[in-house]
Amino acid sequence: MTGGFVGFAIRRLLAAIPTVFGVTLIVFFMVRMLPGDPARLLAGLLATQDEVDRIRVQLGLTKPVPVQYALFIGGLLRGDLGKSTVTQAPVTYEIGVRLPATALLAATATILSVLFGVASGLIASTRQYTSTDYFVTVLALAGISIPVFWLGLMLMVVFAVGLHLLPAGGDTSPLALILPSIALAAFSLAIIERQTRSSMLETLRQDYVRTARAKGLAEGRVVYRHALRNSLIPVVTIVGLQFATLLGGAILTERTFSWPGVGTLLVNSIEARDYPIIQGVVLLFALTFLVINLVVDILYGYIDPRIKYS
């Protein structure tokens, strides 16, 4: 299994190279299609044209676009994403100081969504067509339908403004983490619950499950040992994709709760036309998707030994 795993990992990494190249190409050119002149924004409305031209030269915007892209790729290969046009600090530093806050928020939301999503999906599948199943289904539909920013505002109104139990945000303390984590986890929790319920219902109808019950095995052992494990592969896929999606969804959540993460940095950079920061953050999100997809594929073999990496 080790040899097959190494070969599989190498093939996946090699296949990711063209994807990364395509992402850099799209990000580079789409960022430059944003309306507005970053040099004018930095210089101010009262600046002279000579001052604006000087800033444009400093930013390298006077060079041909292919040359700018080549310089961008060269810096990327060296681990140099350039400097922020607003703060003049390295992009890696600007992202690095905010990444832990976003990772903490996304990880907490993922844990909440997995724990409650799998548990509620399991409960609903073993009590199909009961009031419990209908109640869980309605909650899941609500979680899918409610926008994250609206849910965040309602949580702040109730728990921060009304009950004064939790802070509305603005820092990364444990209490301030609760509301944004719930708001961010709601959609993923609902998706995981629906996938778990669907997968479990399909598995519980299989012949080997009926055979296990016919042998007199306890219902709990049939459900947890035989049915649940074989239902986890599509759930693991959803969990992996949802974690990557949470990084993108964190943009709205961070903005709503004034969370000092990468999402807030991205929004501020778009408003300021800070090209290097925008490129760095979008590349970070894209690479996160690639890495998580690789991890999910690797987990398949541990969940179901019938899956071979070779």
Residues 197-221 have pLDDT tens digits of 888 888 888 777 777 778 777 777 7
Assigned fold of 99-303: MetI-like fold (1.10.3720)
Going by pLDDT thresholds of 50, 70 and 90, the confidence category of residue 167 is: confident
Q: Which pLDDT tens digit goes with each residue over 137-154?
A: 898 888 888 888 888 889
Q: If you average pLDDT over residues 287-297, what whole number do you get?
A: 78
Residue 13 vs residue 185, higher pLDDT: 185
Whole-number pLDDT of residue 168: 79
Q: Which of 204, 192, 201 has the alpha carbon at shortest distance from 234?
A: 192
Q: Give the whole-angstrom CA distance, residue 302 versus residue 8.
A: 14
Q: Given this model, what pLDDT does residue 302 score?
A: 63
**What's the mean pLDDT in 227-235?**
77
pLDDT in tens, 56-101: 777 677 788 888 888 888 888 888 888 887 888 888 899 999 988 8
pLDDT at 234: 79
Higher pLDDT, 153 or 16: 153
Question: What does the block give as tokens for 242?
Answer: 């949802």
Among 38-47, 74-83, 174-183, 291-300, the least confident range: 38-47
pLDDT at 232: 76
The Cα 82–Cα 91 span in angstroms is 6
Q: What percent of the chain stands above pLDDT 70?
A: 86
How would DSSP label each residue in 142-205? HHHHS-HHHHHHHHIIIIIIIS--S--SSS--HHHHHHHHHHHHHHHHHHHHHHHHHHHHHHHT
Domain boundaries, the chain: 2-77, 99-303
Q: What is the pLDDT of residue 256?
A: 85
- Residue reference for tokens 């109104």: 157
| Mean pLDDT of all residues in 243-252 | 73
